[in-house]
Structure 1
Amino acid sequence: MVFSSEAPDDTVHKVSVMKKRREAMKVCGFFFLLSMFSPFLDANPGIKVKITQKGLDYGIQCGVDLLQQRLKEEIFEDMSGQETYGFSGVDYTVSKIQVNSVEFPNTSVSLIPGIGINLLINDARATVNANWKVRSWLFRSSGKLTVFISGVFLTAIVTASQDNAGHTVLLLESCQGNVGGIDIELDQEAGWMYKYFVNFLEKPTCISLTTNMCPYIGFEIERINAELKQRQVRAQIDSFARVDYSLVNSLSISKASINLDIKGTVYPVGNDTEPPFKPKPFIIPEKNNSMIHIGISEYFLQSASLVYYASGAFDVSIAKELSSYFRLTTKAFGSSIPKVARRYATPYPVILNLKPIAAPVIGLHNDSFVLEAAGSMEVLAVLPNSTTQSMFTLNITAITRASLTIFEQKLIPSLCLDSFHLSLAHSNVGFFKVSLLKNFFSYILRNGVIPAANAKLKEGLRLLETDSMMLVEPVVTVHQAYLLISTDLAYNVEEDQGESEEFFTIDA
């Protein structure tokens, strides 16, 4: 409903505007599916998002449910004015306006290929209670009234594009609204005033509602655009990296889905240098079994790998990881390397320092996630004075396979060693056959290095940055050159009630 006031109280007005702002955002609930990944020039994207009709249907249902809940809590401005009754001017006021019930029995959203989104509200109805008061030099009277609004119809087409910064921009392309009927009932005490006051109020109220529906939606869409524009299109993952979630192409709308192309590049914090490789094209298959399908390309993962390699995040000192299995000393190498046995007759503790010599290479193939890492492992003896002495350094190339799970809204990979190759890079204890240490380092890699890597990977990539929206039964599959996450969504109203004016604050 839209009520106006010639002289609204400033406090009531501010509260009403804030609530209306949130209400319009919520009633456009299906728009959250457009904006949730955009807090994420033709170019290939690193991330693709496909929103299906099932997702849109859920979005509009969220909007309807929220609107019904919030309208009952709304603080509306008083409605006042003056009319002529015979030869006398009559002042009237309608106050304490409260929505008692509201129903949207027939609400839908559909896609217009290549154009936009069509919102249809049909046969909506509401019941509103209020106090009324009239006054003239001849008489004054007051009481309570109930307004029955029925047959509300609204159809609107909304298009979506992008601005120069890669934010989603919504535009109300067309809109038409109509109120079928207004029926006002006054309390019995109104007496002779009943017919006059009802006849006077019904027509202007119907006209006011009809003429204000579309401008109000247009106004609130502009507010949504302002909110979207304020969002940072780059979200920080941790102290090492941040992701660019800007749109690289305008939204593509087909008969069955809305498709978003997101840059999906991972940068070092404080450094916007582009990676030395480009994203390759990939296509998410047409699937309608889930609300949302998210395609994460090799490019996205490889840019993340490069950032973490450059930051030193992959450097590992193997000590604590092995302490639960055995205490590693120089004695472990003495049987294979005679000079170690002679130099360190008294066993000294050993530290293994592992450093990658290049960013791990990620390969995505049908049902296969392969990570190939090349690094050097320096083996050092810890002397009694706590200094270290390098014994030898090995070059290691390892191929691992990754399994993927989604836990607590995070995509978490877990590595398993597939194969590895060793070669001697440098030695302070003379030449020796590296093959003699293969079984030993197999044990080290499987029980030290891989667990240490998985411990870091457990932090995962957070998919949603809000507790009010949850992934439901997400499924991760590996395809050629990209990962596909297919999931439904669940909106948690109780969590959202704790937020102020945020409109589904979901960044990455």
Structure 2
Amino acid sequence: MRAMARALPSLLLRLLLTSTPGALGTNPGLVARITDKGLEYVAREGSVVLQRELLRITLPDFTGDFKIKPFGRGHFEFHSLSIHSCELRGSALTPLPGQGLSLTISDSFIRVQGEWKVRKAFVLLSPAADSKTRIQARLHGSFDVQVKGITISVNLVLGREPSGRPTVTAPGCSSHIRDVEVDISGDLGWLLNLFHNKIESRFRRVLESKICEMLQNSVTSDLQPYLQTLPVSFLAPVMSLPEQYNRMVYFAISDYVFNTASMVYHEAGFLNFSITDDMVPPGSNIRLTTKSFRPFVPRLARLYPNMNLELQGAMASAPFLNFSPGNLSLTPLMEIEAFVLLPSSAKEPVFQLVVATNISAMLTFNTSKITGFLKPGKIQVELKESKVGVFNVELLEALLNYYILNTLYPKVNGKLAEGFPLPLLKDIRLYDPVLEIHKDFLFLGTNLQYVRA
């Protein structure tokens, strides 16, 4: 049943979390539209998974007493109950406006098999002594139960904690069985068949409660823990999805999702960089040495003759993507500080620069994630501080345009090439994806395919 939670409600829950009012606040970062085509597909595939998982349910034993004239009292026990076969003939998923999802499975069939045993006391009369002898008889056999007309209905209701983190509950679950037929075989099986109505009633109650119990436990143990891992951040812009319905599923991903990732990369130091002379191509005419920097800073070579330099750079702030119709842009601002590498291995700061540029970005959407690539524009350099006198900023600007394009941006593009995973399960595949750029968000559409293990 847990696999059912992962394969069916979990998938749609992840997609609908942020499209349900109140789930993630007023302006969510991820919105999804599930079309009728998508709902039908996932419901169909989910019923296949549920059918397989139902076969793994272990039903509880149950016991009871009976009294039938002229046999008197006895005690019965049904044990080793297991679902032998299962057929789910109809399933449907429907949205609950403003709440979540409703899953309904109807007109289904289950066959249960197991063992029974009876303890019955018989009294024998002795003709010679006119005495009574009590004998305990223990009889056993097997049984077969046909459970027909099963209907299951469960609601997945989405909400949020005061912190904004989403929650999911399954307060409404019902399971109804139209007909139960018990066939009991073995010694004294005919006796148990005399009160089959009582046994069938017990089977009905056990199965109805067990099915709902497993579904609700799955929500608690699988879906809710997943929601606790979702990050909650600042409010995103309002997104209005275009009216398209050809694909099964549509995503609208706010620019704040990518910008939050940028903040994480920035805080973790992934966007920092360092350039030393050994990183400069061997055939380059300009080296990271005080001698080579004489045209930029004449006094530098006199104060620190024949020494290597190191440039350390960092983003002044996390670079944010700007989304506009058909276009993505980025305006990072970098701070670069130069150090002389002294013979003592110490580093002597000599100047600081501020570097700005305009960058356009390309995004691609494949079967599992969104990847990106930055196309930087021309770099502009401003001198922030010089401890070594006059500085030729224009000449250094040309140098940095070459080296930063070949050091920093390949590193950033390497991270972007790793991509931003879409909120999908490992056994879900996408096909026929499309991607559009709108103001403040990306719009993605795709069809889904569930890959059975």
Normalised-by-shorter TM-score class: 0.7 to 0.9
Local SS of the residue matching 1:359: coil
Alpha carbons of 1:137 and 1:294: their partners in 2 closer, same or farther (altered >3 Å)?
Answer: same
Structure 1 unaligned runs (5+)?
1-22, 236-242, 245-263, 266-277, 495-508
Identity %: 23
Alpha carbons of 1:366 and 1:332: their partners in 2 closer, same or farther (altered >3 Å)?
Answer: farther
Matched with 2:294 is 334
TM-superposition CA deviations, 1:127-157 (whole Å, max 9, x none)? 2221222332246532222222223234555
TM-superposition CA deviations, 1:89-123 (whole Å, max 9, x none)? 13222222222211112222223545664433222
- Map 1:429-444 → 2, pairs under 5 A: 429-444=388-403
Matched with 2:11 is 33
8 Å Cα contact 2:152/2:173 also seen in 1? no
Q: Give the whole-Å Cα distance in 2 for the aligned partners of 1:212 and 1:286.
A: 47
CA positional deviation for 1:373: 0.9
Q: Does 1:360 align with 2:319?
A: yes
Matched with 1:197 is 192
Matched with 1:258 is none
CA positional deviation for 1:24: 6.8
Q: Does 1:170 align with 2:169?
A: yes
More off after superposition, 168-177 vs 411-420: 168-177
- Map 1:193-272 → 2, pairs under 5 A: 193-201=188-196, 203-208=197-202, 210-211=204-205, 219-220=213-214, 223-224=217-218, 226-227=220-221, 233=228, 235=230, 243-244=231-232, 264-265=233-234
Q: Which has the higher contact order (CA 8 A, sep 6+)?
A: 1
Q: Give the whole-Å Cα distance in 2 for the aligned partners of 1:106 and 1:414.
A: 45
Q: Give the whole-Å Cα distance in 2 for the aligned partners of 1:52 and 1:332.
A: 63
Q: Give the whole-Å Cα distance in 1 for the aligned partners of 2:105 and 2:342.
A: 78
More off after superposition, 392-401 vs 146-155: 146-155
Q: Give the whole-Å Cα distance in 2 for the aligned partners of 1:320 and 1:144.
A: 83
Q: 2:118 aligns with which of 111, 117, 134?
A: 134
- Map 1:305-344 → 2, pairs under 5 A: 305-306=262-263, 308-309=265-266, 312-319=269-276, 322-323=279-280, 328-330=287-289, 331-340=291-300
Matched with 2:125 is none
Alpha carbons of 1:110 and 1:408: their partners in 2 closer, same or farther (altered >3 Å)?
Answer: closer
8 Å Cα contact 1:365/1:479 also seen in 2? yes
TM-superposition CA deviations, 1:358-409 (whole Å, max 9, x none)? 3323211223221111122223332333233444332211112223346895
Alpha carbons of 1:155 and 1:65: their partners in 2 closer, same or farther (altered >3 Å)?
Answer: same
Q: Does 1:418 align with 2:377?
A: yes
- Map 1:345-494 → 2, pairs under 5 A: 346=306, 348-405=307-364, 411-457=370-416, 460-464=419-423, 468-473=426-431, 476-487=435-446
Matched with 2:65 is 82
Q: Residue type matched to 1:185 in 2?
A: D
Q: 2:141 aligns with which of 125, 140, 143?
A: 143
Q: Does 1:120 align with 2:104?
A: yes
Alpha carbons of 1:438 and 1:365: their partners in 2 closer, same or farther (altered >3 Å)?
Answer: same
8 Å Cα contact 1:24/1:217 also seen in 2? no
Q: Does 1:66 align with 2:49?
A: yes
Q: Give the whole-Å Cα distance in 1 for the aligned partners of 2:330 and 2:62.
A: 67
Q: Give the whole-Å Cα distance in 1 for the aligned partners of 2:389 and 2:447.
A: 60
Q: Residue type matched to 1:333 in 2?
A: F
Q: Give the whole-Å Cα distance in 1 for the aligned partners of 2:420 and 2:119.
A: 65
8 Å Cα contact 2:16/2:33 also seen in 1? no
Bigger radius of gyration, 1 or 2? Answer: 2
8 Å Cα contact 1:124/1:153 also seen in 2? yes
Q: Residue type matched to 1:279 in 2?
A: A
CA positional deviation for 1:446: 0.9
Q: Residue type matched to 2:94 in 1?
A: S
CA positional deviation for 1:319: 3.0
8 Å Cα contact 2:92/2:103 also seen in 1? yes
8 Å Cα contact 2:78/2:115 also seen in 1? yes
TM-superposition CA deviations, 1:63-87 (whole Å, max 9, x none)? 4333332333333222321222213
CA positional deviation for 1:205: 4.6
More off after superposition, 214-223 vs 71-80: 214-223
Q: Give the whole-Å Cα distance in 1 for the aligned partners of 2:322 and 2:115.
A: 69
Q: Give the whole-Å Cα distance in 2 for the aligned partners of 1:306 and 1:27.
A: 33
TM-superposition CA deviations, 1:40-84 (whole Å, max 9, x none)? 976322333444444444443454333332333333222321222
Matched with 2:238 is 281
Local SS of the residue matching 2:401: helix
Q: Give the whole-Å Cα distance in 1 for the aligned partners of 2:262 and 2:105.
A: 48
Q: Residue type matched to 1:177 in 2?
A: H
8 Å Cα contact 1:39/1:232 also seen in 2? no
CA positional deviation for 1:345: 5.3
CA positional deviation for 1:421: 1.5
8 Å Cα contact 2:30/2:254 also seen in 1? yes
Alpha carbons of 1:130 and 1:55: their partners in 2 closer, same or farther (altered >3 Å)?
Answer: same
CA positional deviation for 1:417: 1.0
Q: Give the whole-Å Cα distance in 2 for the aligned partners of 1:214 and 1:162.
A: 30
Q: Residue type matched to 1:383 in 2?
A: L
Q: TM-score, normalised by structure 1?
A: 0.70
Matched with 2:27 is 44
Q: Give the whole-Å Cα distance in 1 for the aligned partners of 2:175 and 2:59.
A: 24
* Number of residue equivalences: 427
More off after superposition, 430-439 vs 334-343: 334-343
8 Å Cα contact 2:277/2:308 also seen in 1? no
Structure 2 unaligned runs (5+)?
123-136
8 Å Cα contact 1:29/1:61 also seen in 2? no
CA positional deviation for 1:305: 3.9
Matched with 2:254 is 297
